[in-house]
Amino acid sequence: MSDIQREYNEAIDAADVALGHLYRAQDLLGSAGNWGLFDIFAGGAITSYIKRSKMHEAQGEIDAARDALRVFVRELRDVEGAPGFQIDTSGFLSFADMFFDNAFLDMYVQMQINEARQQVAAAIQQVEAVRDALTHRR
């Protein structure tokens, strides 16, 4: 196998790892969004807890995806860096949503979830496009 072929394979493998984390984050954010909607209209402390749990799991996948994207970009060298992903679920907002449950805080958290979902979807689209181009050039 040539060095060029090996580099393509390493980049494609790195893309696959990043995509795996991004897909899992997308699923978890979808679940958090569903729980968030329920929380707005009929939820309580338990619903908020489940939503937060899903958001926390999604944040872990986003962090892992960010690390995998760094490897992917390093493998490509000629691809622009990936956009940053962040869901701020720490500090007062999390505490307030759990213990001072109200529709205004729930709607704000829902907006955060939706924004994160859009960022993850955009990252998936970008990585898939580059991966497809690598696969076709290989």
d(CA 32, CA 108): 13
Chain segment 88-118, per-residue pLDDT in tens: 434 434 444 444 456 677 888 898 898 899 9
- Domain-embedded: residue 137: no
Q: How many domains does the chain have?
A: 1
Q: What residue numbers bound the domain in which 91 lies? A: 3-80+87-132
- Domain-embedded: residue 52: yes
Angle at 6 between CA 4 and CA 9, to 5 degrees: 110
Confidence at residue 54, expressed as pLDDT on a 0 to 100 scale: 92
* pTM for the structure as a whole: 0.77
Residue keyed to tokens 């329920």: 38
- Domain-embedded: residue 138: no
Q: Stretch 62-84: mean pLDDT, rounded?
A: 72
Percent of the chain at pLDDT > 90 equals 30
- Domain-embedded: residue 99: yes
With b meaning 16 or more CB within 10 Å and e meaning fewer, what string describes 95-117?
Answer: eebeeebeeebbeebbebbeebb
| Dihedral Cα 77, 78, 82, 83, nearest 10 deg | 130
